[in-house]
Structure 1
Amino acid sequence: MPSPVPTPGAPCWIDLMTTDVDTARRFYGELFGWEYQTGDEEKYGGYVTAWKNGKSVAGIMQKDESQAGMPDVWSTYLRTDDAASAAKAVAAHGGQVFMPPMDVPEQGHMAIFGDATGAAIGVWQPREMLGYELVGEPGAAAWHELHAKDYDAAVKFYQDVFGWETEVMSDTPEFRYTTMGSGMNAQAGILDASGYLTGGIPSHWQVYFSVEDTDAAIERAKAMGATLLEEPADSDFGRVAQLADPTGATFKIISARAG
């Protein structure tokens, strides 16, 4: 199970960029049992922090006019000790700087990059806000996974830029998968998605949320306007399904038990 105190290069935060904050708050509040605090409008742009059992788990942010036409999306942030140096490393290893490092008053520094496969990935350099405080428990992030159209380039990029120590979990033609870390200490995964990410579908990160019962969570989500994108299926790690929330942001859920 990933530690809630991430090492440099490991996922440390997630947030949702949405066209409708009120709808998102209601949906995820009901689905995951989240409560919310809204940041100062002038200082933090009304950024909403989600909490579960008194611990921070995620953020929600209203899209602005510059993001009109872009899909609503969940983003993963990797911890860094130096966002400015990370930006230089990204550019030097075939990535792009989508949003250069910016100061979040008192909290830390953030930036958004494109990796060598074009997938968007955030970084967070902490000050007061260290990252999420709950991991792998119902209502919190359980796993982060890059679906890469160029698997080899993706693995090398995260090794070179973020210092990932990786382990190959599977290397068959049907299933190629590499993790940051190994076994129960793994922090994130990279999946060779070249076989199904066709046409204009880009490489992208996917967030998994832990739930107590995948099938029951699906029914709750559908009743609130979500769309089931991938039917529930049992895996070695739990019962998994993919959903889109009422405004189209995709995410996965996983429970430790079937049915």
Structure 2
Amino acid sequence: MSELTSAPPAGTPTWIDLGVPDLDRAIEFYGALFGWEFDVGPEMAGRYTMCLLRGKPVAAIAPNPEATDVWWNVYFATEDCDASAAAVERAGGSVLVAPMDVMDKGRMAIVTDVTGAQFGLWQADAHLGSEIVNEPNALLRNDLITADPRAARDFYTAVFGYTQDSNPDLPDVDFTFLRRPDGHEIGGIVGDPEAGASRWTTLFQVDDVDAVARRAADAGGIAGEPFDMIYGRLADITDPFGARFQVGSPKR
């Protein structure tokens, strides 16, 4: 069980959200999948909806009637959103949404890295980010899949000060661990020449991958065949809007 009561260190994936054309349908799907409860925000806040586990926020879903390309967007913690956005630009990335205050919740920006992958920056105030992580029905990890891993490695080291090391457990995969300066692993970079557009992936932890895959299909999504790998059991899921993510049960 991992419940957070303060903002995580800078460079940690701290929040995820999803923009969808049909909020009610998304609530139905993700409620069936993870047993989340939902706190629908007011119209003045764009009905930005908190996904709750044991009453604590773990993610958010927002209505976006114009959404055609849907994915879970990851936000990285920062102590200074403006400084991190400037670091993104210095490293060759772009700022799509300039740093802005979100009421009393915190300060955010939306940026892209040097390979074109989008992510957010979150400087916490009243909203810490995901208050439950690394346990069933909550965020477990994020990895970047890109056709240009060398450029990505240089970029994220410049922006967040990550250290890097290869993965001897997967010698046939171009995979690099990303670690905060304190050595804590925050995710990784997967090099794939056929990746197409670079994108950060999202992996949710679950107790039973096969059962969740069945629930996803029953709820109107698409579930790939669950498979075993060195770290546990995984399944690829696509929600009714086309957002792709994984569910996994770590090997114990």
Closer/same/farther in 2, CA of residues 100 and 55 from structure 1, 3 Å limit: same
Could you tell me how far 1:2 is from its partner in structure 2?
8.0
Aligned to 2:47, the other structure's residue is in SS state coil
One-letter amino acid of the counterpart of residue 203, structure 1: S
Deviation at 1:24, TM superposition (A): 0.7
* Equivalent residues in 2 for 1:8-157, closer than 5 Å: 8-42=10-44, 44-64=45-65, 68=66, 70-157=68-155
After superposition, what is the alpha-carbon deviation per residue over 1:163-205, rounded to whole angstroms, capped at 9, x for unaligned? 21222224987311112228x94121111122x31xxx30001
Residue number among 214, 220, 240 corresponding to 2:215 in the alignment: 220
SS in 1 for 2:127: coil
Q: Per-residue deviation at 1:87?
A: 1.5
Letter paired with 2:19: M
Unaligned 5+ segments in structure 1 are: none
Please state how far the C-alpha of 1:256 moved relative to its aligned partner. Answer: 2.8
Structure 2, gaps ≥5 residues long: none
SS at match of 1:216: helix
Distance 1:255 1:47 in 2: 29
Whether the 8 Å contact between 1:208 and 1:251 is mirrored in structure 2 is: yes
In structure 2, do the counterparts of structure 1 residues 91 and 3 end up closer, same or farther at CA, with 3 Å as the change threshold? farther
Deviation at 1:41? 2.2
CA distance in 1, matches of 2:68, 2:90: 27
Q: Give CA deviations for 1:127-149 in whole Å, capped at 9, x if unaligned.
A: 11111111111110011010011
| Count of matched residue pairs | 248
Q: CA separation in 2, counterparts of 1:168 and 1:2?
A: 26
Find out whether 1:234 has 2:232 as its counterpart: no
Give me the CA root mean square deviation: 2.1
- Structure-2 separation of matches of 1:239 and 1:173: 19
Q: How far did 1:233 drift? A: 1.4
Residue 122 of structure 1 and its aligned partner are, at CA, apart by 0.8
Q: Distance in 1 between matches of 2:101 and 2:209?
A: 38
Q: Equivalent residue for 2:192? A: 193
- Report the identity percentage: 39
Q: Which residue of 2 aligns with 1:244?
A: 238
